């Protein structure tokens, strides 16, 4: 449904975050080596339907924010602009920047809080598709607690919902809503509230409880998952030896349905196991001819997307290759770069080691190569 129109994102990151009581705005606090804002933006950069992402920041942090994204893999799909005094002013600055980037009246605009880093790509798709159908759409979840007013009235929980972002709109509609609000001197707490005022009620899409807005120190508590993976392949003549996406000169290669990259396979199993998504045989069965001879690095990219859609980020991975011959040390840095690029994470999150079994067992006899991996996921 999204293939026939452009989709854009505005990420609001101009707030001061006083409730976090941190020495810097909360969007620049680091979690697992990345700022919250980087984690948030990366979801939209990975999404194949989002053409351009505009990050709106404060004047004081403009250069800092530009520096964050200047070396990003998809840097050409990011623009950083200055916001205004209030959130509504900042989002409107982002909308104006999108017009300059070529956004049309029927383009879809996703407006998202820069401190909601755990949003999934699946939710981004669902909200954008609902906006195509209805003009405006918001994600929301049911409240879990009983809600009372300060005067003592208990509200009907079944009639309430907690609204999240990203909120999605047709471009001409959200522009009209903002312009009307400014003309009336009205400032709302979210964007759908502005379209309500011009008679367009946003459709509600089922949100995600994991999609929290990081506001106070308590919100920084995270869920961690550990996964392990193991794989082994036989060495055979007339096969290429591919490890970590690197083709290594050797008289034999690993036998398998794909390129038999045992190192990458172990990592994929570790990630899938940690996320509770099964194993590589489930996602990429060797009975499927589509995967015959395929690069395992491509399968790793698909694995990374599946893990991301489940709401998880890779904290780090530690991989050991068990191999008597050939010597792998000259190729390890390139392996790390290949894996980090496939998963769109910094290289320092990927550790690769090689060891022998002192000529013991099938690896020691040169009959095959094994690999073990352990990874940490968080959300």
Over the chain, what is the mean pLDDT? 92
How many domains in the chain? 2
Domain shared by 215 and 268, yes or no: no
Domain shared by 28 and 92, yes or no: yes
Indicate whether 29 belongs to any domain. yes
Quick check: 33 pLDDT over 70?
no
Domain shared by 306 and 328, yes or no: yes
Indicate whether 359 belongs to any domain. yes
d(CA 100, CA 348) in angstroms, rounded, equals: 37
Domain shared by 191 and 238, yes or no: no
d(CA 145, CA 364) in angstroms, rounded, equals: 60
Indicate whether 1 belongs to any domain. no
Domain shared by 32 and 58, yes or no: yes
d(CA 214, CA 305) in angstroms, rounded, equals: 23
Helix (H) or strand (E) holding 12: strand 7-13
Predicted local distance difference test score (pLDDT) of residue 311: 75
SS3 314: strand
Domain shared by 203 and 284, yes or no: no
Domain shared by 301 and 207, yes or no: no
d(CA 20, CA 173) in angstroms, rounded, equals: 34
The tens digit of pLDDT for each residue in 275-334 reads: 999 999 898 988 888 888 899 999 999 999 999 888 788 999 999 999 999 999 999 999
* Strand pairing class (252-254; 162-163): unpaired
1 confidence band (pLDDT: 50, 70, 90): low
Q: Contact 170/107 with Cβ under 8 angstroms? A: yes
The tens digit of pLDDT for each residue in 239-265 reads: 999 999 999 999 999 999 899 999 999
Distances (CA, A) of 286 to 259, 270, 282, 339: 12, 18, 9, 22
Indicate whether 98 belongs to any domain. yes
Residues 6+ apart with CB under 8 A from 19: 215, 216
Domain shared by 359 and 244, yes or no: yes
Chosen domain end from 153, 187, 220: 220
Write 190-196 long-range contacts (CB < 8 A, 24+): 190/138, 190/163, 190/165, 191/91, 191/111, 191/167, 192/136, 192/138, 192/163, 192/167, 194/88, 195/135, 195/136, 195/169
Domain shared by 214 and 265, yes or no: no
Chosen domain end from 176, 203, 220: 220
Domain shared by 213 and 254, yes or no: no
Domain shared by 278 and 177, yes or no: no
Indicate whether 314 belongs to any domain. yes
What is the span of the domain harbouring residue 201? 7-220
Predicted local distance difference test score (pLDDT) of residue 218: 79
Predicted local distance difference test score (pLDDT) of residue 239: 94
Predicted local distance difference test score (pLDDT) of residue 141: 96
Chosen domain end from 192, 220, 248: 220
Indicate whether 2 belongs to any domain. no
Q: What is the DSSP string of 247-279?
A: EE--SEEE-SSS---HHHHHHHHHHHHHTT---
């Amino acid at each position: 449904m999204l293939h026939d129109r452009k989709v854009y994102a505005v990420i609001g990151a101009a707030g001061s975050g006083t409730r976090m009581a941190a020495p810097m705005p909360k969007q620049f606090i680091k979690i697992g080596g990345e700022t919250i804002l980087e984690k948030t933006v990366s979801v939209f950069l990975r999404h194949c339907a989002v053409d351009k992402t505009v990050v709106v920041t404060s004047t004081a942090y403009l250069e800092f924010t530009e520096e964050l994204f200047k070396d990003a893999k998809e840097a050409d799909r990011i623009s950083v602009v200055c916001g205004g005094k209030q959130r509504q002013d900042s989002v409107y600055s982002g909308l104006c920047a999108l017009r300059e980037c070529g956004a049309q009246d029927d383009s879809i605009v996703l407006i998202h809080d820069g401190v909601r880093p755990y949003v999934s790509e699946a939710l981004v798709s669902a909200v954008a598709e609902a906006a195509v159908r209805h003009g405006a759409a918001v994600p929301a979840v049911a409240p879990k607690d009983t809600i009372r007013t300060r005067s003592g009235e208990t509200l009907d929980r079944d009639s309430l919902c907690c609204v999240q972002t990203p909120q999605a709109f047709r471009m001409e509609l959200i522009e009209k809503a903002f312009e009307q609000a400014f003309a009336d001197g009205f400032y709302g707490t979210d964007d759908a509230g502005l379209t309500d005022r011009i008679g367009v009620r946003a459709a509600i899409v089922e949100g995600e409880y994991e999609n929290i807005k990081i506001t106070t120190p308590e919100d920084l508590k995270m869920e961690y998952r550990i996964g392990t993976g193991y794989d082994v392949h036989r060495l055979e003549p007339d096969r290429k030896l591919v490890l970590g996406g690197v083709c290594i000169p050797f008289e034999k290669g690993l036998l398998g349905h794909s390129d038999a990259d045992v190192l990458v396979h172990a990592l994929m199993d570790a990630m899938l196991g940690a996320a509770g998504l099964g194993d590589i045989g489930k996602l990429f069965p060797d009975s499927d001819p589509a995967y015959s001879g395929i690069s395992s690095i491509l399968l790793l990219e698909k694995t990374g997307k599946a893990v991301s859609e489940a709401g998880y980020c890779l904290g780090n991975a530690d991989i050991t290759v068990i191999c008597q011959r050939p010597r792998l040390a000259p190729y390890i840095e390139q392996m790390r770069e290949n894996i980090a690029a496939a998963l769109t994470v910094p290289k320092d999150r990927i550790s690769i080691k090689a060891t022998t079994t002192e000529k013991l067992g099938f690896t020691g006899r040169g009959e095959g190569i094994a690999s073990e991996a352990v990874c940490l996921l968080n959300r």
